[in-house]
């Protein structure tokens, strides 16, 4: 299991016992490393907010700023959902549901987990 570094610029400045690392007499406060990070990048919500506070505007400018109202229509109202059944030893049932028409269409678990797979018109 590989550890990844928290990407918050100030992670090492927050004082917690688990951030203190190093040889006796030469300990420093260090950036956290984790096998699982929030959004794959941050050790906790404070660090997530630290990054967002510093970089959110640049990130939005980079990936595209919304400059007009978006409208929910039948063509873009598909969201993924599932019925949780694994608690009783059955497979969970994954599906798309249209938030306007309430139509349901079945999904495989693989399609459910594929963040690029959508029925929505873009």
Q: State the Cα torsion 99-105-106-109 to the nearest 10°.
A: -40
Distance CA 39, CA 24 (A): 33
The answer for 80, left when phi > 0, alpha when psi is -120 to 50, beta otherwise, is: beta
Q: For residues 42 and 78, which CB has a smaller minimum distance to Zn ion in the complex?
A: 42
Q: Which stretch binds Zn ion (CB under 5 A): 6-14, 19-27, 77-85, 98-106?
A: 6-14
Q: For residues 43 and 107, which CB has a smaller minimum distance to Zn ion in the complex?
A: 43
| Shortest spacing between CB 61 and Zn ion, in angstroms | 24
Residue closest to 55 by CA, chosen among 41, 43, 68, 71: 41
Q: For residues 34 and 104, which CB has a smaller minimum distance to Zn ion in the complex?
A: 34
Residue 47 as a binder of Zn ion (CB under 5 A): the answer is: yes
Chain residues that interact with Zn ion, rule: CB under 5 A: 6, 8, 11, 32, 43, 47
């Amino acid at each position: 299991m590989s550890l990844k570094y928290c990407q918050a610029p100030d992670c090492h400045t927050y004082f917690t016992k688990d951030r203190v690392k190093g040889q006796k007499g030469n300990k420093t406060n260090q950036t956290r490393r984790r096998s699982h990070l929030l959004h794959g990048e941050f050790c906790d919500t404070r660090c997530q907010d630290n990054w967002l506070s510093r970089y959110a505007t640049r990130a939005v400018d980079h990936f595209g700023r919304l400059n007009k109202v978006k409208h929910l229509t039948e063509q873009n109202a598909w969201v993924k959902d599932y019925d949780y059944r694994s608690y009783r030893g059955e497979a969970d049932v994954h599906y798309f549901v249209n938030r306007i028409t309430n139509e349901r269409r079945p999904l495989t678990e693989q399609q459910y987990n594929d963040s690029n797979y959508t029925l929505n018109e873009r």
